[in-house]
Amino acid sequence: MMKVLVPYDFSQTADYALNFATGLSENYSGIEITVLHIIETPVATGMGTMGGGLDSVPEFENQIYFIELIERRKKQLKEIDEKFKDSAVTLKTKLVLGSVFKGITESIAEQSPDLIVMGSKGASGLEEVIVGSNTEKVVRTATCPVVTIKAETDVKKMKKIVFASDFRESDEKVANRIKRIQTVFDAQFYFVVVNTPGNFETTRESMNRIRTFVQKHHFENIKAEVYNSLSEESGIIEFADDIDADLIAMTTHGRTGLIHLITGSIAEDVVNHSKRPVWTYRVK
């Protein structure tokens, strides 16, 4: 049984993510999907929270709206339950009150999913540098792989997958995760190293590391590539564009705090800027 968590906010990108998750069941039997919707709890402010005064009127209206929103979301989630009740997809819905990121994090801890599928609009400018999206935060902290979706994606048509890495680390868990993707998708895999001016090495060195990784973990049906670009992020996206890839896969070290602000994350940059689905897995 593979457990899939789909954080869902009723947006178009969330629908893309849900369609992707349900589509996985056509390629991989034994998938259980949890559709998680989180309603942000309003923060009470002003003297009206103590009762009396003019401030109590808008506060009361906010409470009424919040109650109505809960009931509306319950009804919408029930419609999703009904839609898949008699299908081959094993699906359940869950409603949580609180902050979005905290709710997702707690659900990950409680359910231990094998995969998270999230819709993403990406982030740019000041938002990307300082705040980041909830999707980006989940990519950075989740203990299981995360697939981010920005457009409608037909699982059955995913035939080219790029795994971008420097292949300096030979983690058995990472190798097993990549093999699971191979199990789910009958696709051609491209193992690629991006060569940049600031981190230059010969093609021979890069290819040798890829071959060592492939041989150690007994991969099959792999194409090894070295791609030259001005940065790792742009190189990964450009290579995926050049071969018309259906999915980009990569690992992230999930740095947080000051070190994240200073160094950033190639994986998060790709998640933000790639138009293609991106599979990420946090390694220690």
Q: Per-residue pLDDT tens for 199-244?
A: 899 999 999 999 999 999 999 989 999 999 999 999 999 999 999 9
Least confident interval from 48-52, 81-85, 132-136, 230-234: 48-52
Q: pTM for this one?
A: 0.86
Report the candidate in 31, 30, 60 with the shortest Cα–Cα distance to residue 44: 60
In this prediction, residue 122 carries a pLDDT of 55
Of the CA atoms within 13 Å of residue 217, those in its CB half-sphere come to 21
Residue 7 binned pLDDT confidence (cut-offs 50, 70, 90): very high
CA distances from 199 to 59, 147, 153, 226, 262 (A): 57, 28, 34, 13, 18
CA distances from 117 to 4, 87, 156, 221, 254 (A): 7, 20, 16, 26, 17
Is the separation of the CB atoms in 108 and 142 below 8 Å?
Answer: yes
Q: Are strands 278-282 and 247-252 parallel, antiparallel or unpaired?
A: parallel
CA distances from 159 to 47, 90, 162, 181, 210 (A): 59, 25, 10, 12, 21
Is the separation of the CB atoms in 229 and 194 below 8 Å?
Answer: yes
Site of tokens 């094998």:
114
In this prediction, residue 259 carries a pLDDT of 42
Higher pLDDT, 274 or 46: 274
Q: Is the pLDDT score of 48 beyond 70?
A: no
Residue 263 binned pLDDT confidence (cut-offs 50, 70, 90): very low
Rounded Cα distance, 95 and 77, in Å: 8
For residue 141, the tally of other CB atoms under 10 A from its CB is: 16
Question: What SS3 state is found at 103?
Answer: helix
In this prediction, residue 58 carries a pLDDT of 62
For residue 69, the tally of other CB atoms under 10 A from its CB is: 13
Rounded Cα distance, 94 and 109, in Å: 15
Higher pLDDT, 242 or 141: 242
Considering the chain, what is the average pLDDT of its residues?
86
Q: What percent of the chain has pLDDT over 70?
A: 86
Strands (E), the chain: 2-7, 31-39, 90-97, 115-119, 146-149, 160-164, 188-195, 222-228, 247-252, 278-282
Is the separation of the CB atoms in 212 and 169 below 8 Å?
Answer: no
Report the candidate in 173, 169, 153 with the shortest Cα–Cα distance to residue 161: 153
Report the pLDDT averaged over residues 116-140. Answer: 67
In this prediction, residue 213 carries a pLDDT of 95
Full set of structural domains in the chain with CATH: 1-153 (3.40.50.620), 158-278 (3.40.50.620)
Q: Which of 132-136, 139-143, 222-226 has the highest mean pLDDT?
A: 222-226
In this prediction, residue 50 carries a pLDDT of 38
Note the pLDDT tens digit of each residue in 156-209: 889 999 999 999 887 898 999 999 898 888 889 999 999 999 989 999 999 999
Q: What percent of the chain has pLDDT over 90?
A: 63
CA distances from 44 to 62, 98, 160 (A): 9, 13, 50
Rounded Cα distance, 75 and 53, in Å: 35
In this prediction, residue 265 carries a pLDDT of 79
Q: Is the pLDDT score of 273 beyond 50?
A: yes
Higher pLDDT, 244 or 260: 244
In this prediction, residue 57 carries a pLDDT of 54
Residue 260 binned pLDDT confidence (cut-offs 50, 70, 90): very low
In this prediction, residue 49 carries a pLDDT of 40
